[in-house]
Structure 1
Amino acid sequence: MILEIADIRINPGRQAEFEPELQRAIATVISKAKGFKGATVRRSIESPERYVLQVQWETLEDHTKGFRESPLFGEWRAIIGPFFAAAPNVEHFQEF
């Protein structure tokens, strides 16, 4: 399993709008992607416009090729992209 960690910064004061939209995007878009295993989200206490999204994938390619190169990615970004203050920082991790 691969863990994707996305560090997301949104525009100030938009948390109340962003959070249900992110949950909707997880439930209706990314969850349909091949290799998707689950997702969790955390909001920073010190920086309330900062979120950490953790997505579990079967393989790295399920995310980098299968999801990012599919129409689902466009749907995903259309829902949550307007809230971004900057592009998310995304990294992938594996167990050792």
Structure 2
Amino acid sequence: MILEAAILYVKADLKLHFESDFEKASAYISSIEGYISHSLQKCIEVENKYLLLVEWQDLESHTVGFRTSEAYLEWKKILHHYYNPFPIVEHFETVYSNTK
């Protein structure tokens, strides 16, 4: 499993529209082979900062499967105009995990 993480800075006057559109755009990312789950977290300390976490079966599911798909073009059309600056996306693999 690969975890994609992106810090999203949303233009301050567009937060409510962004959250609504994010929910709509979620159908596109979740339609991709290799997609597991995703969540959007809102920062408590910084009003217009969000954390996007997406779990993929493998790196290629995101970098090839999603990024080269028609679904990505729709995702991009719905969401990319909200960001300033454009987010840096990074991928992580689990080294250690613990749950109670």
What is the TM-score of this pair, normalised by structure 1?
A: 0.94
| Partner SS state of residue 78, structure 2 | helix
Map 1:40-59 to 2 at 5 A: 40-59=39-58
Q: State the Cα distance separating 1:39 from its structure 2 match.
A: 0.5
Aligned to 1:92: 91
What is the TM-score of this pair, normalised by structure 2?
A: 0.90
Q: Give CA deviations for 1:17-69 in whole Å, capped at 9, x if unaligned.
A: 1101111111x210101111000111111211111000000000000011001
Where does the alignment leave 5 or more consecutive residues of structure 1 unmatched? none
| Partner SS state of residue 74, structure 2 | helix
AA at the equivalent of 1:55 = V
Structure 1 runs, 4 residues or longer, greater than 6 Å off: none
Aligned to 1:64: 63
**Structure number with bigger Rg:** 2
| Partner SS state of residue 46, structure 1 | coil
AA at the equivalent of 2:52 = L
Q: Give the % identical residues.
A: 35
Distance 1:56 1:38 in 2: 5
Coordinate RMSD, CA, aligned:
0.9
Find out whether 1:16 has 2:27 as its counterpart. Answer: no
| Partner SS state of residue 32, structure 1 | coil
AA at the equivalent of 1:86 = P
Find out whether 1:7 has 2:3 as its counterpart. Answer: no
